[in-house]
Amino acid sequence: MLKDLCGAIDKIDTKISLDANDPNLNSDDYMALNKYCPFVNNGNEQKCKNYEEIIISAFMTFLVSFISSNGNEYLDRDNFAEYTILWLCYQLNQKTKISIDNLNEFYNNYIKGIEKYSNKLEDADNYNSCMDIINKKQYLMNMDIKEMSKLYEALKKLCKLYNECNEKNNNYLNCSQDAQDFANNFESLNQDSNITGNNLYREILFSLSNDYDDFKNYCAKNCSSCNNLPTLSEIKAPQSSSIESKLIPALLIFAIPLFLGIAYKYSLFGFDKQRHRQYLREKLKKIKKKMASYI
């Protein structure tokens, strides 16, 4: 259930309260996150020398420790990989001077960069399992970091609902307001054509929507103070589909008089009038059926 992942996200966030734009960052100040830093000194030591390396190490620490605690069953859930990659994008986006737009460079330079040392890692089996699921989600590496960060904001609000309900139970007095905050954020994403126009982003929206519905069922059993929770609107279809549905009927409307004009000209050249009228009626019926199907 998402509540387990949300609890893990909350824990890792408390460990990485660091300034993304500090040029003097290094992992000596964050030893708990040092586990997946690049190997230096001929492979005898691990050390992160900048924000990106610390975040990648934190990301792998997060994945491996979560799987170690909760089991490999989560690896088969699509939204597990999607949500953790959202978290990574959000953290990377905190750095104001970032020179790339997607994760490919980070993946190749940092995540793939420690694979050759995997036999030296603790929890090597869990590390390899995590790498397998990341490699299967390779297509996510081409997604825009800024757009993914927007989606993480919604996930963060949804996780707040799960975490607060889990901790406070019937004393979660702000549940309705927090649910409304999530619904407002979700609706903002649903109105964003950059999100709804991309199939991969829309899939994540569907995951968020489904997990929110699961939360409503969860809180009904565990948080009696959570009531009158808002319902999310249906996820919008890509804009191109909407344009097409309006354009085709318009073209058909223009086609009718054109067709009638051509048919009339043919009638002047000796078509049998009765057969001609029957022909027109059949064609008009077909055009009307097409118009009805698009409107």
> Over the stretch 2-20, which tens digit does the pLDDT of each residue have?
888 999 999 888 877 776 7
Which has the higher per-residue pLDDT, 279 or 234? 234
The whole-number pLDDT of residue 22 equals 73
Q: How far is CA 63 from the centre of its chain?
A: 18
CB 117 within 8 A of CB 39: yes
Class of residue 66 by CB neighbours under 10 A (exposed 0-12, middle 13-18, buried 19+)? buried
Sequence spans of domains, the chain: 2-143, 168-236, 240-294
Q: Indicate if the pLDDT at residue 266 is higher than 60.
A: no
The whole-angstrom separation of Cα 131 and Cα 19 is 28
The whole-number pLDDT of residue 233 equals 93
The whole-angstrom separation of Cα 140 and Cα 80 is 13
Instruction: Please tell me whether residue 174 adopts helix, strand or coil conformation.
Output: coil
% of the chain with per-residue pLDDT over 90: 24
The whole-angstrom separation of Cα 278 and Cα 176 is 64
Q: What is the pTM of this model?
A: 0.76
The whole-angstrom separation of Cα 208 and Cα 210 is 5
Q: Indicate if the pLDDT at residue 220 is higher than 80.
A: no
CB 75 within 8 A of CB 129: yes
Q: Indicate if the pLDDT at residue 189 is higher than 90.
A: yes
Residue 25's pLDDT band (cuts 50, 70, 90)? low
Query: Tokens 């992942």 correspond to what residue?
Result: 5
Residue 235's pLDDT band (cuts 50, 70, 90)? very high
Q: Indicate if the pLDDT at residue 241 is higher than 70.
A: no
